[in-house]
Amino acid sequence: MVIDTHVHFNPRKGFVTDLLKKCDTLGIDKICLLGSPRELKGPIAEAPDRIIGMAMLRLGYDAPTVVDDLKEQGIPGIKIISPRYNYDDERNFPIYERAQAYGMPMLFHLGIVMRTDIDYALDKNSNRMRPIYLDYIARCFPKLKIIGAHLGNPWYEEASMSARWNSNLWFDLSGSTLKKKTAAFLRSLLWWDKPGHPYKAHGGKHPFEKIVFGTDVAIEWMADVMNDYKRILKEMEVPEEYQKKIFGETAAGIFDVG
């Protein structure tokens, strides 16, 4: 099974049909689709066996009861971006508590964020979205399943070491990382499977068990991102068994889908 954990909803007519056609071409079985609950309702109804809804929620602005509403609507996951406070601020904890209780995975945007003309009005601040903040969340909520986007770009070492120390934390490689970073650089971050040393990971997780597949691009660029994943995994000499985990098996476990 291949699962794309990071796809944004587009309101244009025919988007879902075109998306599924592209996924058929690429061999993608399921998509984590990110959008508002209203936007997700139609796509989930259209392809319930293929679309995993991830509702957008803004920390510090949306009430914790929004998580209750999402659960009642049957939306299985949550996407977070542009928080009012740092991700690990305890004012956000009621959201995390509910998501953990309901078994709802959370995908966090990390690092630098796309610039727009309304950033000031939206109070966008990349520094509130550092990967190290997920370390504290993962420790405080050990049953909460957390995915960090973009391997924390540009805070890669924070991301990789947070992944090592938290078995309930994973990262995707979407964004510019696969274009600007080498296989040697990424392998240096995912180092703790080397033989002959005492350094291990929380829960005994292999470093290649900490990466999931996600594209985070328009439909016409999905093949390009998938090819970048395949290229970098080949260059890192990732065994086939772990490539299967990265492209879908790990995500299937996170979202409890078969």
- Please report which residue ranges of the chain form alpha helices under DSSP H: 15-26, 37-46, 65-72, 93-102, 119-122, 132-140, 156-164, 177-180, 183-189, 222-235, 240-244, 250-255
Q: Which of 149, 63, 65, 62 is nearest to 105 (CA)?
A: 149
CA dist 196 and 210 (Å) reads: 21
CATH code given to domain 3-255: 3.20.20.140
Q: What is the mean pLDDT of residues 110-136?
A: 90
pLDDT, mean of residues 159-177: 98
Per-residue pLDDT band at 20 (split at 50, 70, 90): very high
Percent above pLDDT 70 for the chain: 100
Beta bridge partners of 30: 3
Q: Is the pLDDT of residue 228 over 90?
A: yes
156 phi and psi angles, rounded to 5 deg: -65, -40
Domain ranges (residues) in the chain:
3-255
Residue 121 pLDDT more than 90?
A: no
Q: How far apart are CA 82 and CA 24, in angstroms?
A: 32
Which tokens sit at 119?
């950033």
Residues 35-55 pLDDT 10s: 999 999 999 999 999 999 999
d(CA 146, CA 143): 9
236 φ, ψ (degrees, to nearest 5):
-85, 0
